[in-house]
């Protein structure tokens, strides 16, 4: 899948630097798509989350990971599945799976912000702890995110575009690889309003 997306570009870019940090006229075009970490087990969209289903809001993938999807018109979706080890009690490791969506913005200083506030009621996080009194907790999730800057390069080893985000403090975020264009996402509207039978137009800036 990766090779089919990037092969034509390898020919074009072989004689120039692979660095492809976007300018503001092409950011949204270069950014759009679904990006996943590691093995690509975690991918945004209906194969990962059904946030309005209180009984089964998540479809657990085979491996942990992170995925982001971006549209050309400024919407994002985030999916994460991760483990937190417990060194003193290894059998009490916790698992967390989360999903949210909203709008993303490029800024003149090169940073990117992701704001889920317009869909705050849609986000979900589920935490599993086999040693807790309540082993599974499902709550709302909406977390504003700031990345100080970013680059897109061609990773020859993976034969794929690689998106490197930098956290607000400049530290490296896990590498993300382009898996598909157009992005795989749930609707970019209020899922809560739709589930409640309300008419909700897509928000604008």
Instruction: Return the higher-pLDDT residue of 57 and 23.
Output: 57
Query: 117 near 102, Cβ under 8 Å?
Result: yes
- Which structure tokens are listed for 165? 């985000």
Average pLDDT over residues 83-89: 75
Confidence of residue 4 (pLDDT cuts 50, 70, 90): low
3-class DSSP state for residue 119? helix
* pLDDT exceeds 70 at position 202: no
Q: What is the mean pLDDT of residues 167-175?
A: 94
pLDDT greater at residue 156 or residue 100: 100
Q: Is the pLDDT confidence value at 198 over 80?
A: no
CB atoms under 10 Å from CB of 8, counted, come to: 9
Q: What is the mean pLDDT of the chain?
A: 82
pTM flag (> 0.95):
no
Tokens 């490296």 identify what position? 172
pLDDT at 28: 38
Q: For the segment 109-168, what is each residue's pLDDT rounded down to a tens digit?
A: 999 999 999 999 999 999 987 777 777 889 999 999 999 999 898 888 888 899 999 999
Sequence-separated (6 or more) residues with CB below 8 Å from residue 147? 111, 112, 113, 114, 165, 166, 167, 168, 173
- Stronger pLDDT, 154 or 171, i.e. the higher one: 171
């Amino acid at each position: 899948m990766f090779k089919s997306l990037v092969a034509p570009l390898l020919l074009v870019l072989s004689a120039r630097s692979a660095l492809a940090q976007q300018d503001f006229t092409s950011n949204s075009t270069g950014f759009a798509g679904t990006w996943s970490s590691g093995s690509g087990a975690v991918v945004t969209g209906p194969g990962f989350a059904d946030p309005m289903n209180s009984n089964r809001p998540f479809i657990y993938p085979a491996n942990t990971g992170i995925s982001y999807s971006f549209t050309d018109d400024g919407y994002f979706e985030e999916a994460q599945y991760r483990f937190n080890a417990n060194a003193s009690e290894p059998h009490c490791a916790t698992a967390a799976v989360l999903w949210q969506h909203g709008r993303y913005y490029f800024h003149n200083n090169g940073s990117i912000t992701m704001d889920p506030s317009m869909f705050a009621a849609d986000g979900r996080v589920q935490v599993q702890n086999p040693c807790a009194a309540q082993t599974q907790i499902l709550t709302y999730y909406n977390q504003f995110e700031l990345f100080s800057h970013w680059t897109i390069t061609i990773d020859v080893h993976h034969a794929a575009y690689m998106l490197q985000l930098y956290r607000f403090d400049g530290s490296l975020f896990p590498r993300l690889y382009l898996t598909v264009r157009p992005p795989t996402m749930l609707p970019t509207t209020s899922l809560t309003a739709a589930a409640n039978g309300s008419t909700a137009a897509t928000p604008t800036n």
